[in-house]
Amino acid sequence: MGCRNWGVDGVPIWVVYGLPIWGVYGLPIWVVYGLPIWVVYGLPIWVVYGLPFWVVYWLPIWVVYGVSIWVIYGLPIWVVYGVPIWVVYGVPIWVVYALPIWVVYGLPIWGVYALPIWVVYGLPI
């Protein structure tokens, strides 16, 4: 596509494919595909391609898959897949698979798979 300070393919620098120049494919932007920046593919701008705004093109975000960042898969959350979280698969963060927990998969926890918090996968936490 090529991008110049003053224009792209004859279009003013602040507009690419009908979008403000500061937001095209990884760049800050107010409008995506004719939608206000806070809406992408019918989702609030906080979410792009189903990824947290912080994880999409390295831009900040508060929504994942059209759900506020506090909720993933319809569950409140701070971390998913190695990220801090309140609920995992419908269970409060301090409980994973019906077990109290602070850490899952190498993270501090009260009990993973019926093991003491200091033990995960048979290893001392």
Side-chain half-sphere exposure of 119, counting CA atoms within 13 A: 7
* Residue 45 near residue 60 (C-beta atoms within 8 A): no
Nearest CA among 43, 89, 96 for reference residue 65: 43
DSSP one-letter code for 114: T
Q: What is the pLDDT along the chain (125 residues), one digit of tens a residue?
A: 444 344 444 444 444 444 444 444 444 444 444 444 444 444 444 444 444 443 333 333 333 333 344 443 433 444 434 334 444 444 444 433 433 444 444 444 433 344 444 444 444 43
**The pLDDT value given to residue 80:** 39
**The pLDDT value given to residue 6:** 41
- Give the residue carrying structure tokens 């110049």: 4
